[in-house]
Chains A and B, each alone.
Chain A
């Protein structure tokens, strides 16, 4: 495509965000800010017990309470409305026919009616004049529970005596699969050195600052519903609402307004998304539900929570000969998303390394806890914890630097494209398409001042009784996964470029980056691009924003749609200017003849000329309108990667871990907006630090959620984290026109293991191993004491 004209490229520039002005002024519109005349407010009765049969629900006192308009229990609702769709993250046939698996997906009713299966599960709904009155009414509901034995340990859940959550399944095993490459048994048999360890990555979650929320309106005139939801997947919600209510998709619209963070937690359809439009239609008034923080902690999906029994075989040079892993994911009470997360884990266990013999067996287990759904990283932090800890353990065994073991095994730039030998979640064989993994490692080591210098400083510190440690964490990440994303590109009568898509921003700055991309394609300024995102009315089909996929897939869709539309634009302009289309170029909002500055028409002129009816100026054979829709279907994922290095200073008396320095060498291909990219990486890394040291959900033996507030669930604050240095490298992706890769999740993948490795390094004199997250101060004190 011609890049003539005095167009300053916007891709690659740190263009300030167009979203900022309204948000800085307090004029954003989050779902809690959204009101409609006559709106009523929803509150849920949620189970205080982990596992019980529901004998009866008495709503009579609640129904009579002041300001209450409507009450309903699960039993009544179940007669009318089907449960939530399962396996929301689809697995293509190619995967299903390649990877041996078994999946049972119980479907969650919108309100529990036969049993409750986790503390926090909704049992009844109250609709009242305001939230205060609704909560008053919630307190008046009596539920008669017949307690059942709780299941709070995933391994015990598989045991003979365990109560079964989903009795029709007969077992708490919800899914299993295995992935194999090479001859693992043979390689282990022949190996002289092996290491076996259990790893545990604990339960924590996205915890966006804005809780969930939704509002719904029924239009009786057309029997249509609109649902506004703080969601990452408007088209999924629209599809499921239509199915649930028995309406055509054309009669259902889903919109996400400003969303205050998602991180995957808002990345699938929840029962509340379906219940709200049902209520609006049933009651005949608009309804709104704003989740509060207590509810959020006990009903918005948790994540991670995996046990790995992993074994690695290696030779005297540190080369990996074979790897095998048996993993269990604690899925909680339901499995809305399917096996996307554990399969991500399995497929990312190879990481940036060459592994000839590889086998993973995974089991997904139901327990009486909040359901498990993707959170930034979506299974990859768990994988990286296993592999990167093992690399350090191999190093310790051999008495060499952890970096040396990594170098011994890394896939190199010369190996690209590198076939890893197992399929990705999309069913396609994993091929690392581009990148320089060893360079990322060298970059972080150089940035911390070099290994030798650090070791000298570490020795000196130890002589003074201080414990410094260096930890590494490397990962590869499949990004931009399909199945698709679509864009409609239109030349507006004003001459501006209008782009509509199903991507759903939650703070990433999509309005900014896609206006940059579109501006470059059309040789206009970003301010001349109008974006409509997160609205099913804007485009018939969309997938949404999860899995670090929107930059890749939406840029591809915008690119192809723009290419086609530009062709049509030139055809019409050529007709207007009586020249050949091939002689035309875009310049600053106009279409003109190359080399002849005076001859041009504006894009607005062309838009007018493209209209149907009298006095149009389209040539013969060119249909009316100046709009193209294209659905980009990526061939497969494109591989981003990074190396993290962290230096810690451990106070062995209190167990406090101070992060002295944190460096990331990151490659997400072509960077659209460096400032925003850095914001994503650093934001993700701080979440990863939270998972490493602070955050976590704890359940007691009765299945009571002990982590009930922000006093218990500790989020990292500004004084808990250091400045993070991000070094970029750009290996353009060969798989899409812009050469971009996804970067939304990456930052959160490596910190837990990098910090674990650093703490182990700091405490090497005590031969401490930290194979379990989080690492708490008490754990460190205990490790030091045990060694004595």
Chain B
């Protein structure tokens, strides 16, 4: 019962390795074993979306994924978005459009928005709201978030 599992994966472009119980959730593995605390656990039952990361390029909840299921996967967390000193366009837009207040859902919002814009490059406001409904925010009322995502989409589609 105490058998640990080995996990080898790529995180934010770097090869990482960990060893943990098979029951360990991916969100906890990312936060504790990998030391990346930008990904947050808001509900631990797959609804709030704060824990959203990119799993093989697609947004996925890390609280409803076991760490061992990510063996061999490519993971991107919020820490992987910015390129060195410069922010990712979504991060910059969130800043300009006041799309965050307490910041707890923000990493989940950002990763979800990345996937949304990859999937629907020129979304209408309704499509943005529908796509971002996957993550719950308690502070902003979503307006700044919707404006930020729309701004990035518009800039990309110019």
Contacts and interface: CB of A to CB of B under 8 A. Distances in A.
Direct A–B contact present (CB less than 8 angstroms): yes
Interface of A: 16-17, 19-21, 23-30, 32-33, 132, 206-211, 258-261, 263, 292-293, 506-509, 675-676, 678-679, 682-687, 709-711, 715, 717-721, 723-724, 747
Nearest to B2: A66
A293 B45 contact: yes
B106 to A, nearest CB: 6
Given A261-B101, A293-B42, A724-B141, 18 more contacts: A24-B95, A24-B100, A26-B37, A26-B77, A209-B138, A210-B42, A261-B102, A293-B48, A507-B100, A507-B101, A508-B101, A675-B98, A686-B141, A710-B136, A717-B142, A718-B133, A719-B129, A723-B146
Nearest to A507: B102
B106 A718 contact: no
A19 to B, nearest CB: 7
B4 interface: no
30 contacts: A19-B103, A24-B82, A24-B87, A24-B110, A25-B78, A25-B87, A26-B39, A26-B77, A28-B104, A132-B24, A208-B104, A209-B42, A209-B104, A209-B138, A210-B42, A210-B102, A293-B48, A507-B102, A678-B98, A679-B139, A683-B101, A683-B138, A683-B141, A709-B47, A717-B132, A717-B142, A718-B137, A719-B132, A720-B133, A721-B142
A66 to B, nearest CB: 9
Q: Which of B77, B103, B129, B132 has the most CB of A within 10 A?
A: B103
Contacts of B21: 132
A501 B31 CA distance: 31
Contacts of A676: 98
A318 B94 CA distance: 48
Contacts of A686: 140-142
A741 to B, nearest CB: 20
B48 A209 contact: yes
A20 B136 contact: no
Contact of A724 (B91, B102, B126, B143): B143
A489 to B, nearest CB: 26
Nearest to A206: B138
A747 B40 CA distance: 27
A696 to B, nearest CB: 16
B7 interface: no
A649 to B, nearest CB: 15
Contacts of A263: 138
A132 B91 CA distance: 33
Interface string B124-157: 0010111011111111111111100000000000
Nearest to A678: B98
B59 interface: no
A685 B38 contact: no
Given A717-B136, A718-B142, A718-B145, A26 B107 contact: yes
B129 A718 contact: yes
Nearest to A297: B43
A16 B138 contact: no
B68 interface: no
B23 interface: yes
Closest 7 CB pairs of A and B: A26-B38, A507-B102, A23-B103, A260-B104, A686-B141, A507-B101, A26-B78
B6 interface: no
B22 to A, nearest CB: 12
A721 B141 contact: yes
A753 to B, nearest CB: 18
Interface string B79-109: 1011000010001001110101111111100
A684 B129 CA distance: 18
A687 B78 CA distance: 26
Q: Is the interface of A mostly helix, strand, loop or mixed?
A: loop
B96 A16 contact: yes
Contacts of A261: 101-102, 104, 138-139
Given A679-B140, A721-B142, A26 B79 contact: yes
Contacts of A24: 78, 82, 87, 91, 94-95, 100, 103, 106, 110
A210 B40 contact: yes
B75 to A, nearest CB: 13
Nearest to B132: A718
B47 A710 contact: yes
B90 to A, nearest CB: 9
B33 to A, nearest CB: 12
Q: Which of B78, B96, B137, B143 has the most CB of A within 10 A?
A: B143
A683 B95 CA distance: 16
Contacts of B40: 30, 32, 209-210, 260
A20 B130 CA distance: 25
A81 B156 CA distance: 61
A32 B102 contact: no
B95 A16 contact: yes
Nearest to A261: B102
B41 interface: yes
A26 B95 contact: no
Contacts of A19: 103
Contacts of A208: 102, 104, 138
Contact of A506 (B102, B132, B135): B102
Nearest to A29: B37
A15 to B, nearest CB: 11
A25 B104 CA distance: 11
A424 B50 CA distance: 40
A29 B102 CA distance: 11
Contacts of B128: 718
B44 interface: yes
B70 interface: no
Given A209-B137, A261-B139, A717-B133, A20 B100 contact: yes
B66 interface: no
Given A507-B139, A710-B48, A719 B133 contact: yes
Contacts of A715: 48, 136, 138
A563 B110 CA distance: 43
Nearest to B134: A717
B73 interface: no
B36 interface: yes
Given A209-B102, A293-B43, A20 B133 contact: no
